[in-house]
Structure 1
Amino acid sequence: MFKKILKGLNVNLDDIAKNVAKAQKNKSEGAHHDMLDAYIQGDMQKAFDSGAASVGYTTMNTATEDPNDPQLQPVHGITVYDYAAGAAKIGEGCTEEQVCRALGVERPLWDEAQTTWNNRMRDDKTMNVVNVYSKHFGMAKDHEKLGALQPDNAPVTNIPQGDAAANLQRLETDKHYFFEIQAAIQAAYDHGIDGAQWLIDNLGLTVSQVNGAGTKWMNDFNTMAEMMDYQDQKKNEYSQRFAQESGTGGIVDDINF
């Protein structure tokens, strides 16, 4: 999910620029006028939110959780927060049975809820449901019933638990580190390396944990725009490193994690 957003960032910026040009022709046009003002002020988040609104989409900043919205009603008592947090925990190595026990639901009900929530996200043309889901995915550790759940099938790693916890904390607090690791994952896959396994081997973390930790960075379009060049730089560095390790590149300095 997050990789797709990052890959599409340049396109989004181009679209904003094109819409700004259109808005300059007609400043009385509400959404485009707001987008133009935000763009001029350097507020890329507001420009992005306004641009999305102009074509009928929400973003993670503008998504709403109306308790009367039929698309956000619980399924067999499983809320969108329950489902998002459960999905995050499964991504960490928890089993569906663990999640079901913690939520107090039977497995068939979870399976039906999973299908319903996935269909709602797929069919919602405004992107509101998927944006609410994404927000809660990043809040899994705060979930009352699932937050402290420890995975039965945690990936095997030689990284000490304390170091892995420190890496996770750093991803949540250091945007440069988060975008560096995103760059490393991309570079790994480009070189035929399993990026998910690379995370486990080098950070002691799963993709789900990294994505959850980075939700706030990915929720801030200003940060994403700011960090694009940095991520490209880091991707090049990791690409050289992986090429050297595979015997296809030149000598580069070691990269410290």
Structure 2
Amino acid sequence: METINGVTFEEYAAACGNLAQGMPEAQVIEILGLEKPVWDETLDRWNDRLGELMTEDMDYATRYGELFANPKAGRFAQVETTAMDAGELLQLVPDYETYQKIFWHQSVAASHGIDPVTVLEGYGIDLGKWGALNMHYLNYQNSLLDHTAPDYAEKFNYFRQLQDKWRSHFESEYSNYKSDLASDIEF
């Protein structure tokens, strides 16, 4: 198994997932038994190597996404963290339609000057959890939009219908919303 400074691919992906879900960098470094400069080098080298691996085989992107979303692997497997496992995350956003709903809610709200993070908070989700959920559902979306699959047209139609449904829903909901981004500026 390939390592960089003693850190495996699985541990690298798990470290990134734990960081995204709020684990302090100092705790990640301690768990991996590294010094800060060695961690920085390890992270840079794994980031570069991930690009190379994905060029060779896109299954690495899928595996990275799985580990990012469920970062209990390698030396992180038995560590108590605030990171949610995949099952807990999927309780927040149990299906692809719910994911699309939240995605379009954020997108349309942001176009009206509303902070998309506050939209996430309304669903009980923070940025770290949203990042992990994105990895999970983008992997699903990639399989959904595989143009080589025999049922591609049906899946693509499903994808477009969901997008249209939720975009239209939130555009209608925010149609009368006027943002005043300059209201707190004094001259």
- TM-score range normalised by the length of the shorter chain: 0.5 to 0.7
The gaps in structure 1 that reach 5 residues or longer are 1-66, 68-72, 155-160, 249-257
Inter-CA distance 247–194: structure 2 relative to 1 (3 Å threshold): closer
| Higher-RCO chain (CA-CA 8 Å, sequence separation at least 6) | 2
Percent identity between matched residues is 21
| Deviation (angstroms), 1:166 | 6.2
Aligned residue runs from structure 1 range 193-212, under 5 A? 193-206=114-127, 207-212=130-135
- Contact map agreement 1:89 1:149 (CA 8 A) in 2: no
**Structure 2: which 5+ runs fail to align?**
147-154, 180-187
TM-fit CA distance, 1:101: 1.9
User: What TM-score does the superposition give when structure 2 sets the normalisation length?
Assistant: 0.68
Deviations 1:92-143 (Å, cap 9, x if unpaired)?
Answer: 1111111122223222221101111222345x39624775145223234242
Q: Is contact 1:90–1:96 with CA below 8 Å preserved after alignment? A: yes
1:146: how far off?
2.6
- Equivalent pairs counted in the alignment come to 163
Taking structure 1 as the reference length, what is the TM-score of the superposition? Answer: 0.52
For 1:1-257, what aligned pairs fall within 5 Å after superposition?
73-122=2-51, 124=52, 127-128=55-56, 132-140=60-68, 141=70, 142-146=72-76, 149-151=80-82, 168-171=90-93, 173-206=94-127, 207-222=130-145, 225=156, 226-244=158-176, 246-247=177-178
Q: Is the 8 A contact 1:94 1:150 kept in 2?
A: yes
CA distance in 2, matches of 1:247, 1:190: 11
Q: 1:234, 1:134 → 2: CA distance?
A: 26
Q: Cα 1:118–1:146, aligned 2, differ >3 Å: closer, same or farther?
A: same
Larger radius of gyration: 1
Compared CA separation, residues 213 and 227, structure 1 to 2 (3 A): same
Note closer, same or farther for the CA distance 1:233–1:121 as it changes in structure 2 (3 Å cut): same
